[in-house]
Amino acid sequence: MLECKNLSCTRNNKTLFKNLSFNAEPQSKILITGQNGSGKTTLIRSLCGLLPPTSGNIKYYDNDIYENPKLYTSAMAYIGHKNACKDNLTVMQNIEYWAGVRNTRELIIAAVCCLQLQPVLNIRYSELSSGWRRRVALARLLVSNANIWFIDEPFCNLDNTAYDLVINLIKIHSEQNDPDLEVQIIDGTIIRAHACTAEYKKDSGAQEALGRSKDGLQLLLIKKMILHRLKH
């Protein structure tokens, strides 16, 4: 589905990653890990079609995403570490706006219910706490009706309840019956801090390395979602 060959990226005379290659097959979950500054967000933005790599190519069903961006843009949804919501609109108005862009108004109720947004629907986005703001932003995944999800720091500012909602949302989305449905590529900075690093290491069947750069950026194919958090 998504094929990346020899991706390299240089910013401000610094090489963030070089000759990174991997394939993302349907129904896969890919976790990106690495130290701060290793290029996780840059890689996600390149894969979204927002930041062309210095070299290499990215193809979606054999079509270069930078040569045919319209086809690809309609197939993917990107949630960055900034929520990109309109402060002057209510929560419902933000969701309705996104659904209108994608012509998916029938998915609004599902998005509201899945992320349990009912208590804040009529509140302006600017008046929400950081955790609620992140929940609202993540609702865009559900109304996008996209095959591919890109999520940068998905659990930032979420409490335990919201964390569990999002983990299960990712799990369910990747286990739907359509074999051509989705790929999910996630920045692992937060998931490694709050989720299940120890369990991944114990279970050799839980993950598989897809690619690694010399500077520490790594892509892991998550074969099994493990829902237990590390105990503090």
Tens-digit pLDDT profile for residues 2-55:
888 999 998 888 888 888 888 887 777 787 877 777 788 888 899 999 999 999
Listed in sequence order, the DSSP H helices in 129-210 are: 130-144, 160-174, 188-194, 197-202
The 3 state secondary structure assigned to 127-141 is HCCHHHHHHHHHHHH
Q: Strand 183-187 vs strand 28-33: parallel, antiparallel, or unpaired?
A: parallel
Q: Can you tell me the distance from the alpha carbon of 67 to that of 195, in angstroms, rounded to the nearest whole number? A: 37
Candidate from 73-77, 123-127, 185-189 with smallest mean pLDDT: 185-189
User: Nearest CA to 121 among 133, 129, 112?
Assistant: 112
pLDDT tens by residue, 79-88: 988 899 999 9
pLDDT higher than threshold 90 for residue 94: yes
Please state the rounded mean pLDDT for residues 226-231.
36
pTM of the full predicted structure? 0.78
Q: Which comes out higher in pLDDT, residue 217 or 168?
A: 168
Residues facing residue 30 across a β-bridge: 185, 221
Q: Can you tell me the distance from the alpha carbon of 12 to that of 34, in angstroms, rounded to the nearest whole number? A: 19
Q: How many CA atoms lie within 13 A of 119 on its CB side?
A: 7
Q: Can you tell me the distance from the alpha carbon of 152 to that of 223, in angstroms, rounded to the nearest whole number? A: 20
- Domains of the chain (ranges; CATH) run 25-51+69-222 (3.40.50.300)
Q: Which residues contact 141 (CB under 8 A, 6 or more apart)?
A: 77, 79, 149, 151, 169, 173
